[in-house]
Amino acid sequence: MIDSLESRLKSELNIRRKEHLYRETRVHDCDLLNLSSNDYFNLRNNSKVLSLANETANKYGTGSGASPLLSGYLPCHEELVEKLLSWKKKKYGMLLNTGFMANQAILKNLPKKNDLILADKYIHHSMAQALNRGSTKFKRYNHLDLEELEELLINNINKYDTMFVVTESVFSMDGDYPDLKHLIKLKRKYPFLLILDEAHGTGVLGATGAGLSEEADVQDEVDIIVGTFGKALAGNGAYVLTNSSSIIEYLTNKAGEYIYSTFLSPHQAGVALATIDIIMDAHKKREALRDISQWLRNQIMNIVKVETQFNTPIVPLLVGNPESALKLQELCMNKGILVGAVRPPTVQADSSRIRISLNSELTKEKLTPFISVFKEWAKR
pLDDT tens-digit series, residues 273-282 = 999 999 999 9
| 270 and 346, same domain (yes or no) | no
Number of folded domains in the chain? 2
| 181 and 273, same domain (yes or no) | yes
| 299 and 265, same domain (yes or no) | no
Q: Are 214 and 58 in contact (CB under 8 A)?
A: no
Is there a catalytic annotation at residue 172?
Answer: yes
Sort 282 into a burial class: Cβ within 10 Å, 0-12 / 13-18 / 19+.
buried
Three-class SS state of 308? coil
In a domain, 134, yes or no: yes
Q: Are 207 and 278 in contact (CB under 8 A)?
A: no
In a domain, 202, yes or no: yes
Active-site hit among 39, 115, 120, 197 = 197
Active-site hit among 77, 88, 124, 285 = 124
Active-site hit among 88, 90, 108, 200 = 200
Instruction: Kindly report the pTM of this predicted structure.
Output: 0.94
Domain end position, chosen among 220, 251, 280: 280
Work out the average pLDDT over 305-314: 83
Is there a catalytic annotation at residue 200?
Answer: yes
The values of phi and psi at residue 178, to 5°, are -75, 160
**What pLDDT does 179 receive?**
98
Is there a catalytic annotation at residue 38?
Answer: yes
Average pLDDT of the residues of the chain: 95
| 144 and 260, same domain (yes or no) | yes
Active-site hit among 39, 115, 120, 168 = 168
| 102 and 171, same domain (yes or no) | yes
In a domain, 13, yes or no: no
**What pLDDT does 58 receive?**
98
**What pLDDT does 281 receive?**
97
The values of phi and psi at residue 242, to 5°, are -160, 170
**What pLDDT does 265 receive?**
98
| 294 and 274, same domain (yes or no) | no
* CA–CA gap between residue 156 and residue 8 (Å, rounded): 44
Residue 272 domain boundaries: 47-280
Domain end position, chosen among 237, 253, 280: 280
Is there a catalytic annotation at residue 124?
Answer: yes
* CA–CA gap between residue 189 and residue 187 (Å, rounded): 5
Active-site hit among 88, 108, 187, 231 = 231
- HEC secondary structure over 108-122: HHCCCCCCEEEEECC
**What pLDDT does 31 receive?**
82
In a domain, 179, yes or no: yes
Domain end position, chosen among 280, 315, 344: 280
Work out the average pLDDT over 279-298: 96
| 88 and 177, same domain (yes or no) | yes
In a domain, 187, yes or no: yes
| 216 and 347, same domain (yes or no) | no
| 211 and 359, same domain (yes or no) | no
**Within a 10 A sphere around the Cβ of 178, how many other Cβ atoms?**
22
**Residue length of the chain:** 380
* CA–CA gap between residue 12 and residue 316 (Å, rounded): 29
**220-233 confidence digits (pLDDT tens):** 999 999 999 999 99
Residue 307 has pLDDT above 70, yes or no: no
